[in-house]
Amino acid sequence: MPRRFLSDWRNWQLAVAMAFVVAAGAAGAFAGSDYFLQIMVLAAIYAAVGTAWTISGGLSGLLLLGYISFFGLGAYVDGLLYTKFGVNPWLCMPIAFAAAGLLAWLIALLTLRFGLSEDYFAMFTVALSQVLKYILLNWEFAGRATGVYLTVVKDDFATLSFVDRRPYLYIALALLAIVILVTWAVQRSRLGYYLAAVRENDQAAEALGIDSAKVKTKAIVLSGALAGMIGAFYTQFATFIDPKQVFSLATNFEMLLGPVLGGRLSIVGPVFGASFLKPLQDLLRGWLGGEADALYLVLYGAVLTVGILVLPKGVAAYVEAWHRRRYGNP
Amino acid sequence: MSLLELERVTKRFGGLTAVDAVSLAVEPGEILGVIGPNGSGKTTLFATVSGFLAPEAGAMRFEGQSIAGLKPSRISALGIARTFQVVQPFAGLTVFDNVVAGALRGGRERLAPAQRAADQVISRCGLEAERNKLAGALTIAGRKRLEIARALATRPKLILLDEVMAGLRPTEVDQAIELVRTIRASGVTVIVVEHLMRAVMALAERLCVLHHGALIAQGDPREVIERPEVVEAYFGRKSAHA
């Protein structure tokens, strides 16, 4: 690849992340066990969600802590449309994208137009995810606490159901590739400049003609919509929805761990962060045992907080510094 | 028609009237100086004109259009740019990216032309050597220049410069004065708020004096600074025993 293209940090990340996605696909093709594939699919889903989060939680600088709302909503949109109305799962993904985007837009409207400050915004998003959980836990039509179960029609590409786990991995990686591309495109676009300006200094951005509320709204909507799309795929992969899981705060923080430690302003950060942390979390969970759910929450919360304080730009900052030296940018 | 017209503009903070019924007309192409002791309302007046503060009373018109109550981004889009007295760089971005953010003009410019325009502004403001540095790593003089460059990149009709010379060394002040002159020469109307009398007197064709938020004098700079009410505002009333 031309050196000139790679000398841009964003392009370099795109190339590396895409190479990683392809390599993961190849590794999956030769993977022997379903257990291993299962972990890979989940890692890809987490990487995609984590990367999508960086558009709002990273680039725009918003403390969007309660991000799982969009994922959970997408999961339910797919589950309900598929089981109750027979909507094709492939079609459910764009619908979930739109539904989660709409939720994100409403959140932006409520919080930004009324000038909710940063910490309250964070609390609002966390609270909202739990409100959604309790609504779905009590909604008859959505199966209450039982959730939604999908009947699997065996090996049918048209209805996104496979006995083999491999096709799920390929689709998950394709979704991850889409999220990576979108994030890269955002970073390189005018919106990327506005987001950087608003993140760095809201007032100065406004003085330059940048409508900060509008810019943040765009970031939340795009970020939320992508999570919704991934949530829809998750339902098809898992074949059931447990409301306590798809709106779980523990899962929420698990999903943010990769981008926060990896680097929330980067692309490689969330991709590699989630890809390594998710399997690690699964191992850790096995080791700590099933009774320790509250312990995870404490652990993730602590790691997340320390990560934000100690490594505000994540591990990716060091890679970026290396890249700068390697390609001779001052 | 005046470029900017203020009519009895008033801004209060609780019981304090920071800007008190200021009426002012700014003509296209001029350099207007605004001076006044600390706390006289200069920065508040700028913040009001640029939309960061909403006036309690009075009218503000830019090119005949009312701008009172508009958001800062809207006012910037109409062609009023401002710098901040306490510089507000995008510290984590490079100088180039800082200026590009301005050159995009809130979406009215595409990315490639904005990047070209940014490089032009950078060289105009003498920031070439700093182009790829992080804005947070600049010296105070560099930051003041960046503040001007970013505002200039929005291609304003009117630029409000808030103490861009404060804290500069004498040679840097000379360079800054020269820069402001070239800005005006390119057809941009300039309002300078400045404590440094040497700079104001070198630049301003007309001078306004604020005191306790009120406009107490305006006119020819050399004549205005001799007026008793202006001298009094700065130095107080002459004691009977002196």
A209 to chain B: which residues are within 8 Å by CB?
Answer: 73, 76-77, 102, 105-108, 154
Residue A321 lies in a domain: no
Query: Does B240 have pLDDT greater than 60?
Result: no
Interchain pair B52, A203: CB under 8 A = yes
Burial A161-186 (b: 16+ CB within 10 A, else e): bbeebbbbbbbbbebbbbbbebbbeb
Q: Which residue of B has its CA nearest to A190?
A: B111
Of the candidates A271, A64, A266, A241, the one whose C-alpha atom is nearest the C-alpha of residue A148 is A241
User: How far apart, in whole angstroms, are the C-alpha atoms of residue A258 and residue A51?
Assistant: 9
Count of structural domains within chain A: 1
Residue A143 lies in a domain: yes
Residue A282 lies in a domain: no
Query: Does B241 have pLDDT greater than 90?
Result: no
Query: Does A73 have pLDDT greater than 70?
Result: yes
**How many angstroms separate the Cα of A101 from the Cα of each of A106, A113, B123?**
9, 17, 42
Residue written as tokens 């909503």?
A73
Residue written as tokens 């009172």?
B68
Does residue B100 belong to the interface with chain A, where contact is any CB pair within 8 Å? yes
Residue A276 lies in a domain: no
Does residue B71 belong to the interface with chain A, where contact is any CB pair within 8 Å? yes
Query: Does B43 have pLDDT greater than 60?
Result: yes
- CA–CA–CA angle A134, A139, A141 (5° rounding): 150
Query: Does A328 have pLDDT greater than 90?
Result: no
Of the candidates A113, A81, A109, A112, the one whose C-alpha atom is nearest the C-alpha of residue A96 is A81
pLDDT tier at A290, thresholds 50, 70, 90 = low
pLDDT at position A193:
96
Interchain pair B81, A207: CB under 8 A = yes
Query: Does A54 have pLDDT greater than 70?
Result: yes
A312's tokens: 């505000």
pLDDT in tens, A189-223: 999 999 999 999 999 999 999 999 999 999 999 99
Averaged pLDDT, B145-152 = 96
- Looking at every residue in chain B, the average pLDDT score rounds to 92
Averaged pLDDT, B158-185 = 93
A189 to chain B: which residues are within 8 Å by CB?
Answer: 111
Residue A163: what residue type?
V
Nearest to B106 among A189, A208, A329 (CB): A208
A295 vs B215, higher pLDDT: B215
pLDDT at position B107:
87
Checking DSSP bridges between strand B206-211 and strand B31-35, what pairing results, if any? parallel
pLDDT at position A162:
83
Does residue B136 belong to the interface with chain A, where contact is any CB pair within 8 Å? no
Q: A129 lies in which domain range?
A: 10-247
pLDDT at position B242:
45
Find residues 48-87 of chain A whose CB sits inside 8 Å of chain B: none
CA A117 from centre of chain = 23
Burial class (CB in 10 A: 0-12, 13-18, 19+), A86: exposed
What is the length of chain A?
330
Of the candidates A180, A194, A223, the one whose C-alpha atom is nearest the C-alpha of residue A65 is A223
A239 vs A14, higher pLDDT: A14
pLDDT at position B161:
95
Interchain pair B102, A208: CB under 8 A = yes
Does residue B90 belong to the interface with chain A, where contact is any CB pair within 8 Å? yes
- According to DSSP, the residues that pair with B82 across neighbouring strands are B160
- Out of A146-150, A181-185, B125-129, pick the least confident: A146-150
pLDDT at position B54:
94
pLDDT tier at B60, thresholds 50, 70, 90 = very high
Query: Does A294 have pLDDT greater than 80?
Result: no
Query: Does B238 have pLDDT greater than 80?
Result: no
Interchain pair A330, B73: CB under 8 A = no
pLDDT in tens, B101-121: 999 998 899 999 999 999 999
| Residue of B88, B115, B130 for testing the chain A interface, max A β-carbons within 10 Å | B88
Residue A178 lies in a domain: yes
pLDDT at position B163:
92
Residue A29 lies in a domain: yes
Query: Does A9 have pLDDT greater than 60?
Result: yes
Checking DSSP bridges between strand A148-149 and strand B214-219, what pairing results, if any? unpaired
B117 to chain A: which residues are within 8 Å by CB?
Answer: none
Find residues 148-207 of chain A whose CB sits inside 8 Å of chain B: 189-190, 193-194, 196-197, 200-201, 203-207
Count Cβ–Cβ pairs < 8 Å, chain A vs chain B.
Answer: 89
pLDDT at position A94:
97
Does residue A209 belong to the interface with chain B, where contact is any CB pair within 8 Å? yes
Interchain pair B73, A194: CB under 8 A = no
- Looking at every residue in chain A, the average pLDDT score rounds to 89
Query: Does A293 have pLDDT greater than 70?
Result: no
pLDDT tier at A154, thresholds 50, 70, 90 = confident
Residue A172 lies in a domain: yes
pLDDT tier at B73, thresholds 50, 70, 90 = very high
> What is the 8-class DSSP label of residue B134?
B
ipTM for the whole complex: 0.91
Name the percent of chain A lying above pLDDT 90: 58
Report chain B's terminal Cα–Cα distance, integer Å: 48
Residue A108: what residue type?
A
Does residue B104 belong to the interface with chain A, where contact is any CB pair within 8 Å? yes
Averaged pLDDT, B141-148 = 94
Interchain pair B72, A196: CB under 8 A = no
Does residue B143 belong to the interface with chain A, where contact is any CB pair within 8 Å? no
Residue A52 lies in a domain: yes
